[in-house]
Amino acid sequence: MALDYLATENAIHAKIESSSHSGIKEGYVVGLNSSGETVLACAGSGANVEAFGFAQIDGTYGSTDQTLNRTTEDHLMQGRMGGFSGLTPGLTVYVSTTAGGVTQTKPTGAGEFAQKVGGAYTSTNIVIKIGTPIYV
DSSP letter for each residue of 45-62:
TT--B---EEESS-TT-S
Q: 59 in the Ramachandran plot: left (φ > 0), alpha (ψ -120 to 50) or beta?
A: alpha
32 — phi, psi (to 5°)? -120, 140
Residues in Cβ contact with 34 at an 8 Å cutoff, skipping those fewer than 6 apart = none
Are the C-beta atoms of residues 119 and 90 closer than 8 Å to each other?
yes
Q: Specify the amino acid at residue 65.
A: D
Domain boundaries, the chain: 3-135
The answer to whether the pTM exceeds 0.85 is: no
pLDDT at position 95 over 90 = yes
- Residue 67 pLDDT: 38
Q: Specify the amino acid at residue 62.
A: G
Q: 123 in the Ramachandran plot: left (φ > 0), alpha (ψ -120 to 50) or beta?
A: alpha
Return the CATH fold of 3-135.
Virus Head Decoration Protein; Chain: A, (2.40.300)
pLDDT, tens digit, 9 for 90 and up, residues 39-78? 899 999 888 999 998 888 776 444 444 434 445 566 778 8
